[in-house]
Amino acid sequence: MSLALAPLDLSVEMEANLPCRKFDPDLWFSDSPTDLELAKSLCGDCPLRVECLAGAVERAEPWGVWGGEIFERGAVVPRKRPRGRPRKEDLARDAALRVEAEARLAANGLATSRSAVRLAA
């Protein structure tokens, strides 16, 4: 059995009020940056957030929101960009958000270097 599928906290039942169980599952796999940010915010208070994120990192999830982080092509991205060429301000903001995402992963003990979890540029 994979660590990601093993129940890590027995006090949390499978039918608990987890955000990914209460809301439309498509929200966590949307193409819309706004929907993905909403899904990230809903993950904030989830009791399984850390385990969900660890499992997604272990499996290198190809896309979606897992444990409050956005995955794209198996990498954690700070935010999903809309289509088209990004503005210069957006590039600067993305760099700052990338540092934040690295800090969140490190705080959860999931990344100590860039080789542990690939962050998309």
Tokens of 45: 């208070």
Say if residue 46 carries a ligand binding annotation: yes
Does the residue 15 lie in any domain? no
Does the residue 114 lie in any domain? no
- Range of the structural domain that residue 26 is part of: 20-108
- Residues facing 72 on adjacent strands: 63, 75
| Residues 16-73: tens digit of each pLDDT | 678 888 888 899 999 888 899 999 999 988 889 899 999 999 998 999 999 999 998 8
Say if residue 115 carries a ligand binding annotation: no
Number of other CB atoms surrounding residue 78 within 10 Å: 20
What is the domain count for the chain? 1
Does the residue 118 lie in any domain? no
Say if residue 37 carries a ligand binding annotation: no
Say if residue 82 carries a ligand binding annotation: no
What is the four-CA torsion angle of 106, 83, 93, 121, rounded to 10 degrees? 40
Tokens of 79: 């935010």
Tell me the whole-structure pTM to 2 decimals.
0.59
Does the residue 77 lie in any domain? yes
- The alpha carbon of 24 is separated from its chain's Cα centroid by a whole number of angstroms, namely 17
